[in-house]
Amino acid sequence: MDHIAIADQDDESHHPNSFFSKYIWSQDHKVIAIQYSITAIAVGLVALVLSGLMRLQLGFPDQFSFIDPSNYLQFVTMHGMIMVIYLLTALLLGGFGNYLIPLMVGTRDMVFPYLNMLSYWTYLLAVIVLMMSFFVSGGPTGGGWTLYPPQTILPGTPGSDLGIIFMLISLAIFIVAFTMGGLNYVTTILQARAKGMTLMRMPLSIWGIFIATILGLFAFPALLVSAIMMMFDKLLATSFFMPAIYSLGENLQHTGGSPILFQHLFWFFGHPEVYIVALPAFGMVSDVISIHARKNIFGYRMMVWAIVAIGGLSFVVWAHHMYVSGMNPYFGFFFATTTLIIAVPTAIKVYNWLLTLWRGNIHLTIPMLFAIGFIFTFTHGGLTGLFLGNVVVDLPLSDTFFVVAHFHMVMGVSPIMVLFAAIYHWFPLLTGRFLNNKLGKIHFWGTFLGTYAIYLPMHYLGFLGVPRRYFALGDTDFIPASAQTLNASISVSAIIVGMIQLIFIINLIWSVFKGKKSGPNPWHANSLEWHTPQCPPIHGNWGEKLPEVHRWAYDYSVPGVKDDFIPQNLSQQQVVLLDENDISGNSGEKNS
C-alpha cells in the first residue's frame, strides 16, 4: 500500500492561502501550538499575579486594604485552577503536544487538522468565560480549586452566585476542547507515524504526551460529570451532592445528597491530572537530558514501561487526597499502598535520569540546567509525597502549608522547570534563533534558588500547623510569632521569583527578533523534528518526501562513528564511520 500522508491526500487539503488562514484561523499544528502556548502563558501570568497578591496578604497582613478575606479566597481558587488546568495542561499538551507530535513521529500534520483548530478556539472560549468571572457580580468563585460542595455553591462563599457558574461552564468547555485535541494526538500517534517509526522508536517526549493524553481523555469525564451535576444542584435545586442543609438560618430544599460523592469524582479526575501534567514533563526532560549529556537515555524500555505503569496506577490512588473525609480504615490502607507502589516506577525514572548523566558528556546549557534543576525539585516534591501518602502522617499534616509546599514542588515547580528547559531547547526550532544565554542563566538561578527559598520554609510552617487557605492566622497559641517572619520571607522570595519571570518574557520577545541565529539542529539532536528540510519547518513539515526512520532517537556518542549523533532518518549506509587515522589520532591524543 502506498504511504500517503493525511495532508497529502487530495481531499484533505488545508494549505493556507491568506494571512488570516495562515496565522489566525490556521489548521497548521505548529501555528495552533503557538496559539495554545501564548494563550496559556498569558493566562498563567494572571495566575502568577494572583499568587503575588496572596503572598502580599500572607507576608504582610492588614497592610493592603484592597485584599479582603473574600477576594483572598478568590485569588487562591483562581490561581490554583488556572495554573493546573488552563496553564499546565494546555501548555504541555495543547502547546508542546501539538508542536512536537507531527514533527517527532514524522507526519505532516495532525490527522484531523480542522478539529485541531477547533480545539484551540474552544480552549480560548473556555479561558474567556473563566476570565469573565472576574467581572461578574460577586466576582469569581472562592470555594478553593477543589470546588467542594456544599460550601462552594452556598451563600457566604465568595462568587457563589455567578462566579461558580462561570467556572463550571468554563471547565465544561475546556473539557470539550481537550477531548477534541486529545483524540487528535492519540490517533496521530497511533495511525500516522512515518515509515519505520515503531512505537518503541518514538522519543520519550511522545510517549509522555501519548499516555498523558489517554489519561486526560479518561479522567476529564469525571470532572465533566461533577461539573454538570454541581451545576444542576446550583441552578435546578437537585440534590446530587447537596445534603439536607440549613444555610443562613434558612432550610434549603436539598435532600440527602452526598458531598463525598463529589470528592470521589473530583479526585478521580484530580489525581490523574497530576500525571497529565507530569508525564509529558518526564518525557521531555528525558530527551533534554539525553541530548545535552550526549548519551543515550539509560533504560529506554524501562522508561516507557514506567510511563505506562504510572498512567495505569494513577487511576487507583485518588482517595489519598481524601483521608480526612472519614473513610473506612481498610480503604485508607488500600490507597496508601497504591500510593507507595506508584512511587516505584517514578523512582525508576529518577534513577534513569541520573544514570544517563553518569559519565555523560554533560553540556551545562540552559535547557540542561533546568533539566537538572527539575531532578532536584521533583525528587524533593516526590519524597514529601511519600509522607502524605501515609494515612497516619497525612492526618496531622492535612490542610497545612506542608501540603501546599509538597504539591507546588512536585506539580508546580517541577513541570515548570521542564517547561523552561523545553522552551530553551526547542526555541531554535520555532524561530531559528537561540534565547539569550546570560538572561537564561539569571532566569535559571533566580527561579531555582528562589523556589527553594519559597517552598523549603513552607514545609516547616506546615509542621508547625499553619493552615492553608486562611486569610489571617490571628491569635493562635501553637504558632509562634516567628512563623510570621518566615511568611514575610517567603512572600519576598515569591515576589522576586515572580519578577524574574519577566526577564524570561523579555528574553522570549527580544530573542524572536534579535536572538543569535541557531541554524538547523543546533543541539546535534537525533529526533526527527530537527531534520526537516527547512528550519524552522514550514507548513507540511517535510517537503516532497516524508522521512523514513531507521533507528531510535538516542544514538549518541556511538563508538566508531564520526559524529557523536546519528539522526533517526539516517540509514546504516549513510552513517559516516571513523577511519583508522581518526582512531589512531584520538588514541594518540589520549596517550599524550
Partner 1 sequence: MKLLTILMEKPWLTPDYDVNQVNSVQNDQSKIGKTALLFFLMVVTILFLLITVTFLTRSQYYDFQALAGQPWLPFTQPKQLWLNTASLIVASLTLQLAVMYSKKMKVDVSLIFVSFATVFSCLFIIGQLLVWQKLTNTGYFIDSNPANSYFYLYTGLHGLHLFGGIFALVRVLAVFFRRTDPKRFSKNLSLCAVYWHYLLLVWILLFLLLTATEDTYKTIALICGF
Among 15, 23, 253, 519, binds partner 1 (CB under 8 A): 253
Q: For residues 503 and 335, what is the distance between their CA atoms, to the nearest angstrom?
A: 42
Identify which of residues 304 and 417 has a Cβ nearer to partner 1 in the complex: 304
**Per DSSP, what are the bridge partners of residue 561?**
577
Total of chain residues touching partner 1, rule CB under 8 A: 68
Q: For residues 298 and 354, what is the distance between their CA atoms, to the nearest angstrom?
A: 9
Q: Compute the least distance from the CB of residue 533 to partner 1, in Å.
A: 19
- Compute CA 13 distance to the chain's CA centroid, rounded to the nearest angstrom: 32
DSSP string, 517-552: B--S-TT---SGGGGSSSSS--TTSSTTS--B--S-
Work out whether 459 is an interface residue with partner 1 (CB under 8 A): no
532-537, long-range: CB < 8 A, 24+ apart = 532/103, 535/428, 535/429, 535/432, 536/30, 536/429, 536/430, 536/431, 536/432, 537/30, 537/103, 537/429
Q: Which of residues 313-372 bind partner 1 (CB under 8 A)?
A: none
Identify which of residues 443 and 550 has a Cβ nearer to partner 1 in the complex: 550
Work out whether 561 is an interface residue with partner 1 (CB under 8 A): no
Work out whether 1 is an interface residue with partner 1 (CB under 8 A): yes
Among 71, 296, 398, 511, binds partner 1 (CB under 8 A): 296
Among 550, 556, 565, 567, binds partner 1 (CB under 8 A): 550
Among 261, 386, 453, 479, binds partner 1 (CB under 8 A): 261
Q: Compute the least distance from the CB of residue 528 to partner 1, in Å.
A: 13
Work out whether 199 is an interface residue with partner 1 (CB under 8 A): yes
Question: What is the residue type of 71?
Answer: N
Question: What is the residue type of 195?
Answer: K
Q: For residues 370 and 355, what is the distance between their CA atoms, to the nearest angstrom?
A: 17
Judged by CB under 8 A, which stretch of 51-59, 189-197, 390-398, 583-591 contacts partner 1?
189-197
Q: For residues 389 and 16, what is the distance between their CA atoms, to the nearest angstrom?
A: 51
Identify which of residues 183 and 422 has a Cβ nearer to partner 1 in the complex: 183
Q: Compute the least distance from the CB of residue 193 to partner 1, in Å.
A: 5
Judged by CB under 8 A, which stretch of 231-239, 407-415, 416-424, 486-494 contacts partner 1?
231-239
- Alpha-carbon radius of gyration of the chain: 25
Identify which of residues 153 and 197 has a Cβ nearer to partner 1 in the complex: 197
Work out whether 228 is an interface residue with partner 1 (CB under 8 A): yes
Work out whether 195 is an interface residue with partner 1 (CB under 8 A): yes
Ordered alpha helix ranges (H), 390-521: 391-397, 401-408, 414-431, 437-464, 482-514
Q: Which of residues 81-140 bind partner 1 (CB under 8 A)?
A: 107, 111-112
Identify which of residues 193 and 380 has a Cβ nearer to partner 1 in the complex: 193
Identify which of residues 38 and 235 has a Cβ nearer to partner 1 in the complex: 235
Q: Compute the least distance from the CB of residue 150 to partner 1, in Å.
A: 15
Q: Compute the least distance from the CB of residue 100 to partner 1, in Å.
A: 18
DSSP string, 323-346: GGGT--HHHHHHHHHHHHHHHHHH
DSSP string, 358-415: TT------HHHHHHHHHHHHHHHHHHHHHHHHSHHHHHHHTTBHHHHHHHHIIIIIHH
Identify which of residues 187 and 437 has a Cβ nearer to partner 1 in the complex: 187
Q: For residues 489 and 512, what is the distance between their CA atoms, to the nearest angstrom?
A: 35
Residue 200's CB is within 10 A of a number of other CB atoms, namely 10
Q: For residues 55 and 74, what is the distance between their CA atoms, to the nearest angstrom?
A: 13
Among 21, 258, 337, 476, binds partner 1 (CB under 8 A): 258
Work out whether 194 is an interface residue with partner 1 (CB under 8 A): yes
Judged by CB under 8 A, which stretch of 24-32, 154-162, 368-376, 545-553 contacts partner 1?
545-553
Q: Which three cell numbers stand for residue 564?
A: 557523536
Among 82, 197, 416, 486, binds partner 1 (CB under 8 A): 197
Among 121, 305, 460, 471, binds partner 1 (CB under 8 A): 305
Work out whether 577 is an interface residue with partner 1 (CB under 8 A): no
Judged by CB under 8 A, which stretch of 15-23, 178-186, 365-373, 530-538 contacts partner 1?
178-186
Q: For residues 298 and 302, what is the distance between their CA atoms, to the nearest angstrom?
A: 9
Q: Taking Cα atoms as reference points, which of 149, 58, 45, 46 lies closest to residue 469?
A: 58
* Positions that interact with partner 1 (CB under 8 A): 1, 3-6, 9, 11, 107, 111-112, 179, 182-184, 186-187, 190-201, 214, 217-218, 221-222, 224-225, 228-229, 232, 236-240, 244, 253, 255-258, 261, 265, 268, 296, 300-301, 304-305, 308, 548-552, 554-555, 571-573
